[in-house]
Structure 1
Amino acid sequence: MRYTTAHWGIYEVGQGAKGPRLTPFRDDPDPSPIGLHQLAPELMATRVRRPAIRRSWLEDGPGAHPERRGREGFAEVSWDEATRLVAAEIDRVRKAHGNEAIFGGSYGWASAGRFHHAQSQIHRFLNTVGGYVAHRDSYSLGAARVLMPHIVASMDELMKDHTSWPVLADHCELFVAFGGVPAKNAQIAAGGVGRHQVRAGLRAMAQAGVEFVNISPVADNLDTSGPVEWIPMRPGGDTAMMLGLAFAIHEAGAHDVAFLERCCVGWPLFEAYLTGRSDGTPKTPEWAAALCGVPAERTRALAARMASKRTMINVAWALQRADHGEQPFWMTVTLAAMLGQIGLPGGGFGVCYGAENTMGTPHAKLRGPSLPQGRNAVRAFIPVARIADMLLNPGAPFRYNGGDHVYPDIRLIYWAGGNPFHHHQDLARLDKAWQKPETIVVHEQFWTAAAHRADIVLPATTAMERTDISYATLEGMLVASTPVIEPVGEALDDHEIFRRIAAHSGCEEAFTEGRSADDWLRHLYDVMRRSWSAEGVELPDFDAFLEAGAIDLSAHDTPRVMLSAFRADPDAAPLPTPSGKIEIASDTIAGFGIPDCPGHPVWLEPVEWAGAEAASRYPLHMLSDQPARRLHSQLDPSPYSLAGKVDGREPICMHPQDAADRGLSDGATVEVFNDRGRCLAGLRVSGDVMPGVVRLSTGAWYDYDAETGVERHGNPNALTADRPSSGLSQGCTAQSCLVEVRAPVDPVKAHRAFVPPAFA
């Protein structure tokens, strides 16, 4: 059997009447349909087929007319000319400005394969030529990745350690979800899904009698095939409600004092804040109701249920992509610690079930193959979501995780893997910042907005066109991903592109170590094979692996209970925090002296939310969640993604009363706007969103019309704020966004998001 892999899962490769055909992995109980459309003609029409250079840059050199990026055509050139020009430009920038003037942008889900992973390839190459300015953390988890190591453990370790779904079904009695458990998000895993498990896990829990409570502005992000209690809550009010729950638990004397004393530090300091002794404001459910919109009696009733049952508290990643995003995650841990069930089967907290397929698996923790990236000689970095700040403010200071840093002066952006004009916020601001560098080079498979705005575009292959090894930790499958089609046009894999540039730069041997791509695959597999053997997992040799196509590792499954060893003996199995315990109050964070992130969880008013002054002009809170029909912006032109659009645009979901108040009807094209921008979307009227809230999923390819100033395709990041969550993490705040919706002001034009540029 031949297989190919993608983030959405494993696909079997067969032959249909019109050529290669993909079908779902037969052992997957809930396969994602997204990846079935990777060969669609609509997608192929948007491919980058030959190396292309922006006309002004080609004619006049680096820095020529950067304001024309995205508005000017390209000239296609040979691979030799393109790689020679890239090598020369890297050399020029290094000699004139140093390697600190090169930003190695590679953010996104570039590949499920572990060798042909663009991030690994670009980082190895740039380290070979002297280093680059890197980014830290992720848009998905900017606040949590900085916060959680201070108070419990790293997000990576916590994600690997989530209590298994069968354990939840056997032991959990009450599952309280802040932000739901969206199965659409769990269609994916970074190295590819083995078998999709979230729907079945939730269904088994419901059949076992587990009670579910979904505290969220939307109702449809937790489906158990059984009853779910929906508590509509104002976006941005999560921390306030958690404090109200904590107060009610404390008031009833239901908090576990013994657990707080044995396994935590900082409880007395937080207790003084919770009760109001330190600031004069008790965080009662009545106090919380004015902030989160949940009636006090409902909060008290839920608190009593949580204290009387084996309770799992789950918090969605979306909650920390907001103003003061650290606080709901810190309060989730604190609330679970008060219940004293952390480390018990079926109790504690999750961060979070449903964000990826991985959380909750019983599969073995085995390290997959990884291309060595070498050492980066450049120490400068930025938090990932601060790229526009860096470009617009070279030399300006910024704070991150208690340290003081300075933004470098970037002259060259080299991007491979990912699409900044999907991930970033306030895209008009990014578009302005994007004009600052002298040269922008991208490896791209499709003519995305980032490719349109580059100076040099180098066509890269997709997973459909190369051999690779796919293994995601905790997914239970090791797969030989094989080519399905020949490379489209003149596309090359990232390793070969960098090899050719390295040859022009005189460092080919250092980059390749004398290995071809096939040699590297064999080498990485053999290293992994020896490592796994030491863990008691035996693999066949490489040729036998290729012949088998896939290896099922589920025989090595073991049930998992998060933080059970720590709970059993905190001294013998301490946490990797300064105290070795759960830090309800952190001396380290307090010592940073950051005004918008003090030393214990607190309520801090968001900059943008329904309680802000700006809500008088923009009364709708816009949520920009993960789309159901693609991963981020990947495969947006595919038939499956297109089938979910409304008249060709991304749908925006609105409560019936809000639509009626504005005279808007289901299926209409509407304009969504605020002070940062305007975009068009297709209206879907639904009672699944609470009044005062709209939902516009991310991932519609950015299509800005310079004549009208309108984004024509429904990209919510035309409206979101490019503002840090706090001075601790500098994470993004996409979910803190106020808008208004109306009928379009200007004549509606068809979008051009999927139209390739003009070529000379």
Structure 2
Amino acid sequence: MRVDPDGGLTVVPHPSDPAPSPLLGNVVEGLRHRTRVARPAVRRGWLDHGPGPTDRRGRDGFVEVGWDEVLDLLAAELNRVRTEHGNEAIFGGSYGWASAGRFHHAQSQLHRFLNQFGGFTGSRNSYSNGTSVVLLPHVVGDAETVLRGASSWPTIAANTELIVAFGGIPAKNVHVVPGGVTRHGTPGHLTALAERNVEVALVSPLRTDLPATVPATWYPVEPGTDVALMLGLAHTLLVGGLHDRAFLDRYCVGFDTVARYLVDGRYDADWAARVCGIPADDIRALARRMAARRTLVTVTWSLQRIRHGEQPVWAGLLLAAMLGQIGLPGGGFGHGYGSMGDVGDNGPTVRLPYLPQGTNPVRTFIPVARIADLLLHPGATYDYNGRSLTYPDIRLVYWAGGNPFHHHQDLARLRTAFGRPDTVVVHEPHWTATARHADIVLPTTLPLEREDVGGGRRDTHLIAMHRAVEPYGEARDDHHILAGLADRLGFADRFTEGRTARQWLEHLYDRWRADDAPTFADFWAAGGHELPTGPSDFTLFDRFRADPDRSPLKTPSGRIELASETVAGFGYDDCPGHPAWLEPEPADRRYPMHLIANQPSTRLHSQLDVGPVSRASKVDGREPLSLHPDDAAARGIAAGDVVRVFNDRGACLAGAVLTDGIRPGVVQLATGAWFDPVDTPDGVLCVHGNPNVLTADIPTSRLSQGCAGQHARVQVERYTATPPPVTVFDPPAGLAR
């Protein structure tokens, strides 16, 4: 960031970054946008009538108050809930992308505060890969090895001959990593694939799930049918004797179970063709190429964000195991290439400074995507990974550093759920939908308005984040806010440990600092510190392959469990004990189009949707909807038209973009447009284009209870009335001082 002579700011990428993120273009304008929360604000109904369930959240006006008044109100409410209902009644949501800084990380700050307050009900896993992190320990012993240890990009470039990319390798996602990226290397690695003539089989309804610069054979499958294609490929390998029986015998258990399933169910290429829409001859030909070459089978995280999302991951591992290349450089299995910038990265593996959160005395938790169920159904029981759990009775929701009205599904249902607690508290820099559905909104600073130490997973540098501008209005950082609350509640000394924010930075840095690292003063003056390099080439499960007896996996058998007795023993009909074909959402004549609600390319999730890069992608001020020209012509839709996308759950308006890079019968609408609801006789209408008014709030399965929000069945029509205006980029109506 550079301060111009006139006092303005300009984004300047790090000098060592070969491919700076285009999302940097959103940063400057977001600093002083009219949606910034200027002062603490309290919902008028909460002020007038006190805490309690209500349907007015998201509909009431707000009253701005002073910091002392709002902190007194909030401290009293926290004490009331703890006294009357216990700490389990407090939900410390705080899920989502927050600051890039290591100290001013909103979730860490809030969890540290709530732990010292006596604990809270928390959440586990993530919307991004919450299904995989539950499944993978049953199959290969742990999730982290697969997610962070698959073949590095240099290993792939040197060894791989064929990549079969289920869900593609979408370059739009590789600019982001929790904590930030100094050097974006993945775009260059993708370019190297083309230079080295690595063959890529792109399996996705969207051609944009692989950069256009990477030549590929495109297999535009029907959404949600990747497992059918995988089983058809596996059947072809099996009956053709192309599978590696020696590898399966030595390194795996359960293959005979899967083989019987493939043969008895007749899950052959002809069956797969009827399901996924890829010609049977093409399926058989692809299987033969996979067996003849060094092949990497990859599965994006998006494929596990669907109903039965465990199955694409498990079936992808089955394919890789049948090829016998797991543990070989550039072969085997990968999960998440193109889903995050650090997957396949060969940067440093140094653990970075972090703020200790302490221990939560409350052991109650939910899988993160079950937030609406938690609020709507206190006392209800549900299955999770072999356990039976019960939803507690939540009376206060405290959210910092995230936006559930971006990443959750069925937003009409979420609005109802948010009406049930007594009090909802939100830390927010902007008037997002989550802030508008709160009772108490506390304005927080953005990273450029505070000091911090920055760095992400496998990042090459630790960054000294200097403050570039003064805080907007009366905004405070999360630590300052929570320290004020802790003071009123009697544990300020424990929370702050007597340190200012700057002193915390020095303390965390000095506790982390290695012998070869500069002093904090030198680090701060230099603006950063380059970290020791990580391994250049690495391969998933190479030590396991070398000697599975000395380096067994952490599974019950010590081997890859292609069939798991543990999972089978749970008795879940929506997740059996081996990879299986389970029907996706059934077709509905009323809603013939298949919606893909994927991640945006113009912002990080919903962050800085107000920025110019994000706004420039919109059509008539609304989120763009991509559809095939044939589908558009059948509905009388032209490029640039405002369209209505709808199903039984709700509707949204979007701007039509026509492309032949999408499978006919499929539409694509990225997540992250700030939810802008209008109540209509037919239900909620988001006039801005948030697809999560359409997606179903259902779990992937009883095993993981993961997010299944990637797909939905919809209908699309040209919107002929005068479109309601988009108002979410203005402060909320009824904001009073």
The TM-score normalised by the length of structure 1 is 0.95
| Corresponding residue number in structure 2 for 1:6 | none
| Corresponding residue number in structure 2 for 1:170 | 158
Q: Give how far 1:18 is off.
A: 4.2
List per-residue Cα deviations over 1:456-503 (Å, max 9, x = no partner): 000011111111111212122211111111111111110110000000
Q: Report if the CA contact (8 A) 1:42-1:639 is conserved.
A: no
Q: Report if the CA contact (8 A) 1:625-1:696 is conserved.
A: yes
Q: Give how far 1:154 is off.
A: 3.3
| Corresponding residue number in structure 2 for 1:722 | 697
Q: Report if the CA contact (8 A) 1:671-1:745 is conserved.
A: no
| Corresponding residue number in structure 2 for 1:510 | 494
| Corresponding residue number in structure 1 for 2:594 | 621
List per-residue Cα deviations over 1:643-672 (Å, max 9, x = no partner): 000010000000010000111111000000
| Corresponding residue number in structure 1 for 2:21 | 32
Structure-2 change in CA distance of 1:159 and 1:409 (3 Å): same
The 5-angstrom pairing of residues 316-335 of structure 1 reads 316-335=300-319
Question: In terms of mean alpha carbon deviation, does 650-659 or 742-751 score higher?
Answer: 742-751
The structure 2 residue matched to 1:480, chosen from 464, 477, 484, is 464
The 5-angstrom pairing of residues 304-343 of structure 1 reads 304-343=288-327
- Name the CA distance, whole Å, in 1 between partners of 2:188 and 2:9: 31
Q: Does 1:461 align with 2:445?
A: yes
- Name the CA distance, whole Å, in 2 between partners of 1:736 and 1:154: 27
Q: Does 1:192 align with 2:180?
A: yes
Q: Give how far 1:550 is off.
A: 1.9
Q: Does 1:401 align with 2:385?
A: yes
Q: Does 1:155 align with 2:143?
A: yes
| Corresponding residue number in structure 2 for 1:685 | 658
- Name the CA distance, whole Å, in 2 between partners of 1:364 and 1:265: 34
Question: In terms of mean alpha carbon deviation, does 186-195 or 666-675 score higher?
Answer: 186-195
- Name the CA distance, whole Å, in 2 between partners of 1:282 and 1:288: 10
Q: Does 1:107 align with 2:95?
A: yes
- Name the CA distance, whole Å, in 1 between partners of 2:348 and 2:556: 28
Q: Give how far 1:245 is off.
A: 0.3
Q: Report if the CA contact (8 A) 2:369-2:705 is conserved.
A: yes
The 5-angstrom pairing of residues 199-214 of structure 1 reads 199-214=187-202
Q: Return the letter of the residue paired with 1:90.
A: L
| Corresponding residue number in structure 2 for 1:443 | 427
Structure-2 change in CA distance of 1:644 and 1:257 (3 Å): same
| Corresponding residue number in structure 2 for 1:553 | 531
The structure 2 residue matched to 1:747, chosen from 713, 722, 727, is 722
Question: In terms of mean alpha carbon deviation, does 658-667 or 509-518 score higher?
Answer: 509-518
List per-residue Cα deviations over 1:143-175 (Å, max 9, x = no partner): 111101111143333222121111111110001
SS of the equivalent of 2:209 reads coil
Question: In terms of mean alpha carbon deviation, does 255-264 or 445-454 score higher?
Answer: 255-264
Q: Report if the CA contact (8 A) 2:637-2:718 is conserved.
A: yes
| Corresponding residue number in structure 2 for 1:275 | 263
SS of the equivalent of 2:538 reads coil
Question: In terms of mean alpha carbon deviation, does 586-595 or 692-701 score higher?
Answer: 586-595
- Name the CA distance, whole Å, in 2 between partners of 1:91 and 1:701: 33
| Corresponding residue number in structure 2 for 1:382 | 366
Matched residue count: 733
SS of the equivalent of 1:67 reads coil
The structure 2 residue matched to 1:541, chosen from 519, 526, 530, is 519
The structure 2 residue matched to 1:15, chosen from 4, 8, 14, is 4
Q: Report if the CA contact (8 A) 1:324-1:604 is conserved.
A: yes
| Corresponding residue number in structure 2 for 1:759 | 735
- Name the CA distance, whole Å, in 1 between partners of 2:135 and 2:106: 28
The 5-angstrom pairing of residues 325-724 of structure 1 reads 325-530=309-514, 538-553=516-531, 555-606=533-584, 608=585, 612-614=586-588, 616-707=589-680, 709-724=684-699
- Name the CA distance, whole Å, in 1 between partners of 2:101 and 2:535: 23
Structure-2 change in CA distance of 1:248 and 1:461 (3 Å): same
Structure-2 change in CA distance of 1:16 and 1:557 (3 Å): farther
Q: Return the letter of the residue paired with 2:735.
A: F
| Corresponding residue number in structure 2 for 1:7 | none
- Name the CA distance, whole Å, in 2 between partners of 1:725 and 1:555: 38
Q: Report if the CA contact (8 A) 1:24-1:36 is conserved.
A: no
The TM-score normalised by the length of structure 2 is 0.98
| Corresponding residue number in structure 2 for 1:8 | none
| Corresponding residue number in structure 1 for 2:241 | 253
Q: Give how far 1:745 is off.
A: 6.0
Q: Return the letter of the residue paired with 1:676.
A: R
Q: Give how far 1:91 is off.
A: 0.3
Q: Return the letter of the residue paired with 1:759.
A: L
Q: Return the letter of the residue paired with 1:719.
A: L
Q: Give how far 1:266 is off.
A: 1.2
Q: Report if the CA contact (8 A) 1:584-1:601 is conserved.
A: yes
Q: Report if the CA contact (8 A) 2:202-2:216 is conserved.
A: yes
- Name the CA distance, whole Å, in 2 between partners of 1:651 and 1:726: 31
Structure-2 change in CA distance of 1:720 and 1:16 (3 Å): farther
Q: Return the letter of the residue paired with 2:549.
A: D
Q: Return the letter of the residue paired with 2:504.
A: W
Q: Return the letter of the residue paired with 1:547.
A: A
Q: Return the letter of the residue paired with 1:747.
A: T
Q: Does 1:124 align with 2:112?
A: yes
- Name the CA distance, whole Å, in 2 between partners of 1:300 and 1:41: 51
